[in-house]
Chain A
Amino acid sequence: MNGNRRSLRNLILYLFLAAISIFCLLPFYWLLRSSLMDLVQIFEMPPIWFPKPVKLSNYTEALTILPFGRYFLNTVFIVVLTITGTVLSSSISAYSFARLKWPYRNLVFGILLSSMMLPYAVTLIPTYLGWSFLGAIDTYYPLIVPAWFGGGAFNVFLLRQFYMTIPGELDEAALIDGAGYFTIYSKIIMPLTRPALIVVGLFTFLNSWNDFLGPLVYLNSEIKYTLAIGLESFKGLYNAQWHLLMAASTVVILPAVIIFFTGQKYFIEGIAMTGLKG
């Protein structure tokens, strides 16, 4: 009796989960479907579910029209430097905020944290003017350099929370053994917090990979475009060519999905472990 009720409840639960899964996945299918059709099929009424014939040439066409390979390399370049900078600078700052005592530390941290609620729109224009004053428009500096300065309060916050959970005796013992603070940071804290660092890395990857406004504002030369901007300009050129647009979108999405599947174990577990709380 109880068992029956439980299995009925589970059935409903699974149906519900399946429904949400469909909601999450169907757009991907529609994307893929449309990317494999020719324009006439796409505009067929009523819409058809399976491309026939499968038109792989959309991909070759989309890839030859704009230098997506070049955009990919540009994006990778930016992303790699951004992740490196963010992981290093946010972790070392977080280490200081979590485990070293210095005057006004918590006040300073509070101020940093408050910058999380600052709309980027406020700083967009002066930051832009600042970079242009430095002659850095149409370079990657504006997209990369900020990452080397803490990489945003969110990451520092996330790592600090994590570092605070490590027992303080570890550092003290190391200090007594004659280790310096940097050694503690690099030899004890960093290895212990690998999952959290991976989370920061992946968040940074996604943010940087998906960044739209930054490259839109700072990059001028087509040769320096990132994938996100490349896709947007592709839309500008091929407004109604849905088959090519969808193929190009798929190309842009794919690397992020692959990276996620490679790192997803650490990613989701990592966030769970950090125990993010307000």
Chain B
Amino acid sequence: MRNILAISGNKKHPSGSLARNRKQEVLIGVLFASPAILGFFIFIFIPMIASLIISFTDYALVNKMQFIGLDNYAGLFNGSDPFFYKSLGVTTYYVLLSTPLCLLFAFSMAVLLNNDSIRGKAVFRTIFYLPTLIPVVASSMIWLWLFNPDMGLINTILRALHLPTGMWIYDENTVIPSIVIMSLWTTGGTMIIFLAGLQGIPRQLYESVELDGGNAAHKMFYVTIPLMTPTIFFNLVMGLIYGFQVFAQAYIMTEGGPNNASLFYVFYLYRTAFKFSKMAKASALGWILFIVIALLTLVVFKTSKDWVHTEGGK
């Protein structure tokens, strides 16, 4: 592939005038960036605007579309929709539980694996990463089976250890924590990113802590954590964004149950759109989610000034 690309190299202009080069650079710069820019317009921007417009109509697949103003939004916010607040609450609960736990878990694993005295790091790294390779359809299938109260692996182990067993995804109170456990299982990707960040911390900083007589805790709190804040920030933002969009677990494992306790927002949106054909209402749901996520991200960005460490430049 590289050879093919190389053929079209432009060899005609050996150091022309500077102005000409500038102009050419701008032209080619825009040209080269155009796939991403066009992609943004076609697949993000236009659909977003379309979605906004649809959300002001009563489009339901088979009817003639009519503008109904803010009715879709009003119907959601005024409580006449029995599921809107429920699904928003359920999803928020999930995000609040899973994001910090996943960050903590992934961070601890990364710190452990960054320890030079550990042998077989590569093996552990691979093992921890393995679950993220599983298609969510398959992992949902596996966990559905692991969570089975009698035949499942989890309760089997608990019984063997004479510990109390649980109903897991079959109980209103434990369904979300159960899905969080499942998300911990696939947190290897986050761990790898942390690991990358850890490897970028200059060794001298630890050495100077040692010179000052500091111990491991000092190293952690005065060097590792401050220097890792940009990576933590990145993973936090990503965790929030993806957490709010959790879908397949509800679709495959719980169908939103029991008693709507796992009625994730995107699952509800999907059901509204494709099960009940209410495309307009679903578009409104989508926009509300967008605004919620944008606001949250904004908050995280705003507060980041206080806790994210910046190295001089960047």
CB of A168 closer than 8 Å to a CB of B = no
**Which chain A positions have C-beta within 8 A of B279?**
125, 129
Interface residues of B in 151-201 (CB under 8 A from A): 151-153, 156, 159, 185, 188, 192-193, 195-197, 199-200
A89 to B35, CA, bound (A): 6
Interface 1/0s, chain B 98-136, versus A by CB < 8 A? 000000000001001101011000101111111111111
Dominant secondary structure at the B interface: helix
Interface 1/0s, chain A 6-47, versus B by CB < 8 A? 100010011011001101111110110010000000110111
Other-chain residue from A25, A180, A256, A257 in contact with B11 (beta carbon distance below 8 A): A180
CB of A181 closer than 8 Å to a CB of B = yes
- The answer to whether B156 touches A100 (Cβ under 8 A) is no
CB of A121 closer than 8 Å to a CB of B = yes
**Which chain A positions have C-beta within 8 A of B113?**
17
Interface residues of A in 85-128 (CB under 8 A from B): 89-90, 92-97, 100-103, 105, 108, 111-112, 115-127
Q: Which of A50-58, A60-68, A269-277 contacts B (4 or more CB under 8 A)?
A: A269-277
CB of B269 closer than 8 Å to a CB of A = yes
**Which chain A positions have C-beta within 8 A of B129?**
260, 264, 268
**Which chain B positions have C-beta within 8 A of A276?**
193, 196-197, 231, 234
- The answer to whether A123 touches B153 (Cβ under 8 A) is no
- The answer to whether A102 touches B133 (Cβ under 8 A) is no
- The answer to whether A149 touches B39 (Cβ under 8 A) is yes
Q: Which residue, of B130, B197, B244, B248, has the highest number of chain A Cβ atoms within 10 A? A: B130
- The answer to whether A274 touches B290 (Cβ under 8 A) is no
- The answer to whether A121 touches B285 (Cβ under 8 A) is yes
**Which chain B positions have C-beta within 8 A of A182?**
5, 8-10, 28
Q: Which residue, of B43, B124, B233, has the highest number of chain A Cβ atoms within 10 A? A: B43
Other-chain residue from B13, B124, B159 in contact with A46 (beta carbon distance below 8 A): B159
A46 to B287, CA, bound (A): 49
Expressed in whole angstroms, the minimum distance between the Cβ of B170 and any Cβ of chain A is: 15
Other-chain residue from A21, A119, A190 in contact with B241 (beta carbon distance below 8 A): A119
- The answer to whether A123 touches B127 (Cβ under 8 A) is no
CB of B276 closer than 8 Å to a CB of A = no
- The answer to whether A101 touches B29 (Cβ under 8 A) is yes
CB of A144 closer than 8 Å to a CB of B = no
A47 to B153, CA, bound (A): 8
**Which chain A positions have C-beta within 8 A of B297?**
117
Expressed in whole angstroms, the minimum distance between the Cβ of A36 and any Cβ of chain B is: 14
CB of A74 closer than 8 Å to a CB of B = no
CB of B256 closer than 8 Å to a CB of A = no
CB of A245 closer than 8 Å to a CB of B = yes
**Which chain A positions have C-beta within 8 A of B237?**
117, 278
Other-chain residue from B11, B33, B141, B245 in contact with A96 (beta carbon distance below 8 A): B33
Expressed in whole angstroms, the minimum distance between the Cβ of B188 and any Cβ of chain A is: 8
A253 to B134, CA, bound (A): 6
Other-chain residue from A46, A150, A187, A228 in contact with B40 (beta carbon distance below 8 A): A150
If A25-B127, A180-B10 touch, does A122 touch B142 (CB 8 Å cutoff)? no
Residues in A lying within 8 Å of B, measured CB to CB: 6, 10, 13-14, 16-17, 20-21, 23-28, 30-31, 34, 42-43, 45-47, 89-90, 92-97, 100-103, 105, 108, 111-112, 115-127, 129-130, 146, 148-151, 153, 156, 175-183, 185-187, 190-191, 206, 209-210, 212-213, 217, 227-229, 231-232, 235, 242, 245-246, 249, 252-253, 256-257, 260-261, 264, 268, 271-278
List 28 A-B pairs, Cβ < 8 Å.
A10-B118, A21-B124, A24-B127, A24-B131, A27-B153, A100-B33, A101-B25, A102-B26, A102-B29, A103-B26, A108-B33, A108-B37, A117-B241, A119-B266, A119-B289, A122-B48, A123-B51, A129-B50, A130-B46, A146-B43, A175-B15, A179-B9, A180-B13, A181-B24, A209-B135, A212-B135, A253-B138, A275-B200
Instruction: Report, nearest first, the 4 A-B pairs whose CB atoms are least far apart.
Output: A180-B10, A149-B39, A183-B9, A150-B36
